[in-house]
Structure 1
Amino acid sequence: MFILILTILTSLVNRVGTIIILAFIMSKINLFRKLVTKRNISLSDKFILSILFGIFGIIGTYSGIPVKGALANSRVIGVFVGGLLGGPFVGILSGIIAGFHRWVIDVGGFTAVACAISTIIEGIMAGMLSEKFYKTESKWLFSLVMGIIAETIQMIIILIVAKPFIEAVNLVEIIGIPMIIANSIGIAIFIAITESIFKDQERAAAYQAQIALKIANKTLKYFRKGFNAETARETAQIIYEMTDLKAVAFTDRKKILAHVGAGEDHHKAGDRIKTTITKEVIKSGKYIVANSKEKIDCDIHRCGLKSAIIVPLKENNKVIGTLKLYKTDENSITQVDMELALGLGLLFSTQIELSKIEYQSELLAKAELKALQAQINPHFLFNAINTIVSFIRTKPDKARELLLHLGSYFRKNLQQSGEEVELTKEIEHVKSYLEIEKARFGDKLNVKFDIPDKITCFLPPLILQPIVENSIKHGIMEKLEGGTIIIKAIDDEKETILIVKDDGVGMDEEYIKHIFSKREGNDSVGLINVNNRLKNKYGEEYGLKIESELGVGTTVIMRIPKNSKEDSLNDKVHNC
């Protein structure tokens, strides 16, 4: 008995080897690789897979070894692998094909019905395990264990269905162990071979991901300027040159913005959208894959575009256009192409949205600056003029000096429309303001500057003067004896720290808590504006920090980060 079992096992292993060789050859055929790696396969693809794996099952039957009126065979390998790779539909249909064939060639045979039933059940089992199979890390080991269980179930079915029972027992004793061992190992090897296809795909996907990042890096400077015909053309050209795609196109909701590659002689920028599927993507907001010329539905007969994936480009979840990747062979859009298209679509949508946010941010910053410039306190102007008038007779030279400071103050106040200014210019502006205030208040106002000579800092304009004004108005001048303001700059490794400190009346904690709120009666408009501008430009963590104590004074701290930036005029690289 042992020698017979060993002989059957050896013969089965040889026959399984033939199937494995066929599997290896199939794994190198593009059609098979496409069918195996397509997770969302169509119904026609499932039919092809079912017939293919059903034929593998039939080959396993014909290569079987006759044993006591039955066949020790490897039929289950094709059916079980088909179910694992293709899901329930493929498992059931390939099981029916191979099982029905087994019954037809041996109608009335001892195990014909049992083998047909077990083949279909094993196909169903594999199909039900398909989802778990794809989530498993070690797919070959999973397949080996499940193959052992499946073949064990086949032996049980033979014992239940085949009659007479004693002959079924004798048969299972002989073929059970050889079929369980040989077929489970065959299933595991078949899966290991197909797993190499997935690894190839993963390597290709990793390469495509790298390409996508390079594309995104190269196209960022274009989409930062907005989504239009010019930026779309530049981006399409980059994608076309960096991939093996035959054509790349962008559209907005109504017209073609750019088309590079095959078909650009009739898919021209500015033309209205021609293809139905593009309109469907714009309407539904979901990507579509077209695997035939008919589905692309170009109205130009000579058009060579035969496969495409079209993904929506969105802004605030609203479709604003599409990205279209084309090939000139039918059914040539792979899973890797889909991942590339979806990844680029998401990246471009993000870039487009960020460009709008950046543009709005620039508008907001300019609007805030204009608002600050418009908030020149008329009382300051009138008080300055009255002060100068009072000096004209008694101190004409001082009056002349103050007029120059007043002119300088207003000139700088109205001219500061740039994005950033040097700290030295901002200090000059503050000094012009302080000279006028010191003339008004005399010895009651003292100002000290602690600004290192070698410090280099670029900051938003009109950012210091409102803080200094607030210190004078609400700190120093509230004291009968007046006080001192210290304006200091500290050059830190990553940022410049600017401090305005006074020894005025100070503020309590409750007032500080609400100082930036726009509630009625809050007269800290200048501080609110400066705080908002800093946050808008550098981020929430860069708002003003205020420390104060009643009867002691107030300290206002701002931080200007030393972040590199592009300067289109002179390539200036640092904020500070």
Structure 2
Amino acid sequence: MILQLLQNLTSRSGIIIILAFLLSKNKTFKRLVTKKDLSLVDKISMSILFGVFGIIGTYSGIKIGVAPGSDAIANSRVIGVFVAGWLGGPFVGILSGIIAGLHRWVIDIGGFTSLACGLSTVVEGLIAGYSSRKFNNVKTDWIWALIMGAFSEIVQMMIILVIAKPFNQALSLVKIIWFPMIFVNSIGIAVFIGITQQIFLEKEQVAAEKAELILKIANKTLPHLRKGFNTETAKLTAQIIYDMTDIDAVAITDDEKILAHVGEGSDHHKSGSIPMTDLTYKVIKSGKYEVAKNKEEIGCKYEKCSLLSAVIFPLKERDKVIGTLKLYKSQKPGITSLDLKLAQGLAKLFSTQIELSKIDYQRKLLVQTELKILQAQINPHFLFNSLNTIASFIRTKPDKARQLIIHLGDYLRQNMTVNQDEIDIYKEIFHIKSYLAIVHARFGDKIKIDFDIEEGLKIKIPPLILQPIVENAVKHGLKNINDGIEIKIIAKDEGEYVKLSVIDNGVGIEKSILEKLFLETDNDSCIGLRNVDKRLKYKYGSAYGLEIKSELGKGTTINIKIPKLKANTKGGIV
């Protein structure tokens, strides 16, 4: 009898699993189970949904006759209720348990096990809810779900023995159903959780692909937008987006006219056109994005325009709207949520790049006029890579992610401190450690870092002197190095000056490049080192520039001498 019950219960619980699989393809269900912060409405909706799963589990159960007039139901009601608590927490677990448990009691009021089964359903929802809190790092881990599901079913058997009367009939029932229900339902719970796990993995994969696409677009558009925000750079940027996505048309505007339009509609949405669509003006005025779901909402005055939907995001320089990015679709289903996120990511990225182009322009002016401090720039690729690294640790190592966020904040804060003449040397070292902590998290064992910093150094140095050198060692040292790279940073008191050294065993610098390293050229790969050299010579004199020793294939050593004498304002020391 037990074997037959096991077979029947397995086949009937399969109904719930099939429904779970079909439901996992529903967009609304996906949004609900992957949402981080559930509202009260979300929790109630989730409770009702999984409560219905519990009711289905009851109706698909198998009637067991223990004695005349003492029937019970071997069922899979717990699957829906347990999954509700596991995914939604205690509130959802209890409420869905009440829904399914109350239904079990109502359909057989006064029945042999109706009260025990109804109560145990609520208890199992509660167990699942608090279990998900305890194992919140593995919320969708089917192994833990299997274990806790089996435990909750054991609890149900105990409740039946305590509440169902007479006891000898309750004991006879438990002897029959305990193994089939614990075995089948715990596996059913694990399978259900495994299905939801695929939803999380699918979401992460889509997010990763979207991030990768945005970064690829960033790599291609960065050289253009760094030259400024104008018709030429906008056209090249729009063309890149159009070529790399399935968007039917891409447009970029400033706050007055269309700078570029690539794709469908380019015959009448022409560069330099005034006026633009009404929706574009609305975005420029409000500073908030808009989605047009039809031609009328787009507001194009051309009757034969084939563009059916659009998303428009503002491009900002700080808090000021300076233009818009527009993505169009000419076919149904129109603009999707992925298109919306793509536009949002690109708009933020381009706004940052446009701001960086202004900073780059200011830096060139400062170099030409030989001001004391050259504008330091945050490398956007490093920033994006840092954010991706942090994102990868958030689920697996949240404590590590928090540490990296602190390091990134310290790094960015120091990078923005360009209005100080001098900072304490240990503050600069701290800045380098923040940078390298993020780099080490990204590359792992491929990069080894060693600090040899003498204690008690009482000297101040120009800000952002070491960081470009260390960044250069990381960037170029890792090229073609399969075994990784070792970087050593040394600070020693040499009497009249403090000697700072950055030593790596990377690919080294070719002699021909080394000879032209400090010449004013368009070689952007050397601009960081040139800036450091210029700043040192301006502050301390021509004898205090960078000393670089490099051998191809063996590594590079860069030395800096910081004199212990006060710098004057004319590029020498006194």
Q: TM (normalized to structure 2)?
A: 0.54
The aligned residue for residue 282 of structure 1 is: 287
Distance 1:14 1:167 in 2: 26
Matched, 1:540 2:532: yes
* Alignment counterpart, residue 220 of structure 1, candidates 219, 222, 225: 222
Aligned ranges 1:133-172 → 2 under 5 Å: 135-136=137-138, 139-172=141-174
Aligned ranges 1:242-391 → 2 under 5 Å: 242-245=244-247, 271=276, 274=279, 278=283, 282=287, 293=293, 313=315, 315-316=317-318, 323=325, 333-334=336-337, 340-341=342-343, 343-368=345-370
Inter-CA distance 195–365: structure 2 relative to 1 (3 Å threshold): same
Inter-CA distance 314–157: structure 2 relative to 1 (3 Å threshold): farther
Report Cα offsets for 1:115-143 as digits up to 9, x if no partner.
Answer: 23332343344345556666328711121
Inter-CA distance 536–17: structure 2 relative to 1 (3 Å threshold): closer
Aligned-residue RMSD, C-alpha: 4.9
Distance 2:531 2:23 in 1: 57
The aligned residue for residue 20 of structure 2 is: 23
Distance 2:262 2:42 in 1: 31
- Offset, 1:188: 0.7
- For these two proteins, the number of residue pairs brought into alignment is 393
Inter-CA distance 263–164: structure 2 relative to 1 (3 Å threshold): farther
| Contiguous gaps of at least 5 residues in structure 2 | 372-509, 519-525, 551-574
Matched, 1:495 2:514: yes
Distance 2:129 2:52 in 1: 17
The aligned residue for residue 569 of structure 2 is: none
Distance 1:83 1:329 in 2: 38
Paired residues of 2:51 and 2:80 also in contact (CA < 8 A)? yes
The aligned residue for residue 189 of structure 1 is: 191
Distance 1:16 1:168 in 2: 23
Paired residues of 2:61 and 2:76 also in contact (CA < 8 A)? yes
The aligned residue for residue 8 of structure 1 is: 5
With 172-181 and 130-139 compared, the bigger mean Cα shift is at 130-139
Inter-CA distance 138–324: structure 2 relative to 1 (3 Å threshold): same
Distance 2:111 2:8 in 1: 22
Aligned-residue sequence identity (percent) comes to: 54
Report Cα offsets for 1:289-310 as digits up to 9, x if no partner.
Answer: 97x959x976789999998877
- Offset, 1:49: 4.6
Inter-CA distance 326–155: structure 2 relative to 1 (3 Å threshold): farther
Paired residues of 1:293 and 1:330 also in contact (CA < 8 A)? no
Paired residues of 1:24 and 1:193 also in contact (CA < 8 A)? yes
Inter-CA distance 223–162: structure 2 relative to 1 (3 Å threshold): farther
Distance 2:133 2:255 in 1: 38
Distance 1:129 1:289 in 2: 42
Larger radius of gyration: 1
The aligned residue for residue 385 of structure 1 is: none
Distance 1:96 1:184 in 2: 20
The aligned residue for residue 203 of structure 2 is: 201
SS at match of 1:495: helix
Distance 1:237 1:322 in 2: 15
With 11-20 and 315-324 compared, the bigger mean Cα shift is at 315-324
Report Cα offsets for 1:214-257 as digits up to 9, x if no partner.
Answer: 21122113311333565445434432442234665656678876
SS at match of 1:98: helix
Inter-CA distance 300–153: structure 2 relative to 1 (3 Å threshold): farther
Inter-CA distance 237–149: structure 2 relative to 1 (3 Å threshold): farther
SS at match of 1:77: helix
Paired residues of 1:61 and 1:73 also in contact (CA < 8 A)? yes
The aligned residue for residue 102 of structure 1 is: 104
Aligned ranges 1:108-147 → 2 under 5 Å: 108-130=110-132, 135-136=137-138, 139-147=141-149
Paired AA for residue 201 in structure 1: K
Distance 2:244 2:93 in 1: 40
Paired residues of 1:254 and 1:272 also in contact (CA < 8 A)? no
Paired AA for residue 149 in structure 2: G
SS at match of 1:368: coil
Distance 1:498 1:211 in 2: 34
Paired AA for residue 10 in structure 2: V
Distance 1:44 1:300 in 2: 38
Paired residues of 2:140 and 2:196 also in contact (CA < 8 A)? no
- Offset, 1:50: 4.3
Report Cα offsets for 1:308-356 as digits up to 9, x if no partner.
Answer: 877665545776666565667679745x656645543443233222211
Inter-CA distance 73–260: structure 2 relative to 1 (3 Å threshold): farther
Inter-CA distance 310–497: structure 2 relative to 1 (3 Å threshold): closer
Inter-CA distance 368–266: structure 2 relative to 1 (3 Å threshold): closer
Distance 1:258 1:497 in 2: 39
Aligned ranges 1:27-42 → 2 under 5 Å: 27-28=24-25, 32-33=29-30, 35-39=32-36
SS at match of 2:370: helix
| Contiguous gaps of at least 5 residues in structure 1 | 370-490, 500-533, 549-553, 563-576
Distance 1:50 1:306 in 2: 38
Report Cα offsets for 1:426-448 as digits up to 9, x if no partner.
Answer: xxxxxxxxxxxxxxxxxxxxxxx
Q: TM (normalized to structure 1)?
A: 0.54
Report Cα offsets for 1:435-487 as digits up to 9, x if no partner.
Answer: xxxxxxxxxxxxxxxxxxxxxxxxxxxxxxxxxxxxxxxxxxxxxxxxxxxxx
Paired residues of 1:308 and 1:333 also in contact (CA < 8 A)? no
With 350-359 and 45-54 compared, the bigger mean Cα shift is at 45-54
The aligned residue for residue 391 of structure 1 is: none
- Offset, 1:495: 2.2
SS at match of 2:279: coil
Distance 1:329 1:86 in 2: 34
Matched, 1:55 2:52: yes
The aligned residue for residue 64 of structure 1 is: 61
The aligned residue for residue 480 of structure 1 is: none
Inter-CA distance 118–216: structure 2 relative to 1 (3 Å threshold): same
Inter-CA distance 561–189: structure 2 relative to 1 (3 Å threshold): same
Distance 1:53 1:241 in 2: 44
